[in-house]
Structure 1
Amino acid sequence: MVHSPIACSGWNYADLKPEARSFFQVSHMGAGAQGLGPSSSAFPGHSREQDWKRMRCCCLKMLFFSPQNPATITRILLSHFNWDKEKLMERYFDGNLEKLFAECHVINPSKKSRTRQMNTRSSAQDMPCQICYLNYPNSYFTGLECGHKFCMQCWSEYLTTKIMEEGMGQTISCPAHGCDILVDDNTVMRLITDSKVKLKYQHLITNSFVECNRLLKWCPAPDCHHVVKVQYPDAKPVRCKCGRQFCFNCGENWHDPVKCKWLKKWIKKCDDDSETSNWIAANTKECPKCHVTIEKDGGCNHMVCRNQNCKAEFCWVCLGPWEPHGSAWYNCNRYNEDDAKAARDAQERSRAALQRYLFYCNRYMNHMQSLRFEHKLYAQVKQKMEEMQQHNMSWIEVQFLKKAVDVLCQCRATLMYTYVFAFYLKKNNQSIIFENNQADLENATEVLSGYLERDISQDSLQDIKQKVQDKYRYCESRRRVLLQHVHEGYEKDLWEYIED
Structure 2
Amino acid sequence: MFSVDGCQHRYCFSCMKQHVEMKLLQGMLPKCPHEGCHSVLKIKSCKKFLTSELYVSMSQRIKEASIPATEKVYCPYPRCSALMSKSEVLGKAANAYAGAQQTGAQKCTKCSGLFCLNCKVPWHSNMTCYDYKKLNPYSCVGDAMLKSLAKRKSWRQCVKCNHMIELLEGCHHIYCRCGYQFCYNCGAEWKDKKATCRCPIWDERNIIRNGHNRPQ
Larger fraction in helix:
1
TM-score with structure 2 setting the length? 0.47
| TM-score, scaled to structure 1 | 0.22
